């Protein structure tokens, strides 16, 4: 598992560098700041490697904190069932706003250090399936060209790391609910 954690750390470091460069080059457009939680209402799924990291770090939290998160997770799951559209596309998902169960009442992420690539990239231009997405609070202008992170390349690296956890693990996508509850393929390897 050490190789997976190191691989995630390396990838997340590169994402952080890309984010900081965008923030330096486009300070008026990148408006992320402490207390802004728009990204914490966006829906996302996880690679198997990201799910394993979230589960590992979740288990390290004090019992009381884990119970708080599970209570928020139950609300999140009920809300998702109410809003779940019949057709899921990146655009449709981007229009659904549900509070992430990791967002606490202080508007901070309880697993910020283990947050997935999607959360780390939110706020700068990201291309998903040929379409560019940006935070609705950013100052990036529609139609104007900006340096853009190609999410497929990030997913390729996450898939390669996920393959080390379970057969065909690179093809799997895991819900945040499954990651927090520890109900995904390969979770048994976390104790090794």
Whether 66 is covered by a domain: the verdict is yes
Question: Is 141 buried (19+), middle (13-18) or exposed (0-12) by CB count in 10 A?
Answer: exposed
- Given a cut of 90, whether residue 176 has pLDDT beyond it is yes
pLDDT given for residue 120 in this prediction: 97
- Whole-number Å distance between alpha carbons of 20 and 27: 10
Its domain, for residue 97, covers 2-181
Q: Does any domain span residue 40?
A: yes
SS (H, E, C) 48-105: HHHHHHHHHHHHHCCHHHHHHHHHHHHHHHHHHHHHCCCCCCHHHHHHCECCCCCECC
- 36 token code pair: 């802004």
Q: Which pLDDT score is estimated for 115?
A: 97
> How far apart are alpha carbons 4 and 10 in whole angstroms?
10
Residue 126 lies in a domain: yes
Rounded Cα–Cα distance for residues 76 and 175 (Å): 12
Q: Does residue 192 form part of some domain? A: no
Helix (H, G, I), strand (E, B) or coil at 4: helix
Tens of pLDDT, residue by residue over 110-139, are 999 999 999 999 999 999 888 898 898 999
Let me know if residue 81 belongs to a domain.
yes
Is the CB of residue 18 less than 8 Å from the CB of residue 122? no
Nearest to residue 114, comparing CAs of 167, 69, 151?
69
**Residue 72 resides in a domain:** yes
The CA R_g of the chain, rounded to the nearest whole Å, is: 16
Parallel, antiparallel, or unpaired: how do β-strands 149-150 and 126-128 relate? parallel
In a domain, 149, yes or no: yes
- The tally of domains found in the chain comes to 1
- Which tens digit of pLDDT belongs to each residue from 43-77? 889 999 999 999 999 999 999 999 999 999 999 99
Three-state DSSP at 109 gives strand
Q: Residue 163 corresponds to which tokens in the numbers above?
A: 């393959």
Whole-model pTM over 0.85: yes
Q: Is residue 80 part of a domain?
A: yes
């Amino acid at each position: 598992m050490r190789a997976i954690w190191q691989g995630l750390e390396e990838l997340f470091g590169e994402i952080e560098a890309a984010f900081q460069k965008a923030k330096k080059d486009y300070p008026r457009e990148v408006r992320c700041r402490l207390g802004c939680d728009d990204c914490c209402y966006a829906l996302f799924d996880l690679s198997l490697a990201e799910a394993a990291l979230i589960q590992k770090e979740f288990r390290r939290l004090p019992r009381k904190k884990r119970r708080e998160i599970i209570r928020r997770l139950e609300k999140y799951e009920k809300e998702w069932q109410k809003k779940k559209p019949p057709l899921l596309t990146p655009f449709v998902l981007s229009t659904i706003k549900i509070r992430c169960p990791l967002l606490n009442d202080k508007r901070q992420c309880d697993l910020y250090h283990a947050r997935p690539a999607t959360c780390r990239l939110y706020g700068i231009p990201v291309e998903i399936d040929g379409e560019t997405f940006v935070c609705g609070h950013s100052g990036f202008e529609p139609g104007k060209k900006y340096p853009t992170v190609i999410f497929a390349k990030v997913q390729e690296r996450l898939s390669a790391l996920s393959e080390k956890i379970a057969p065909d693990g690179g093809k799997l996508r895991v819900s945040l609910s499954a990651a927090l509850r520890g109900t995904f393929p390969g979770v048994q390897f976390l104790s090794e």
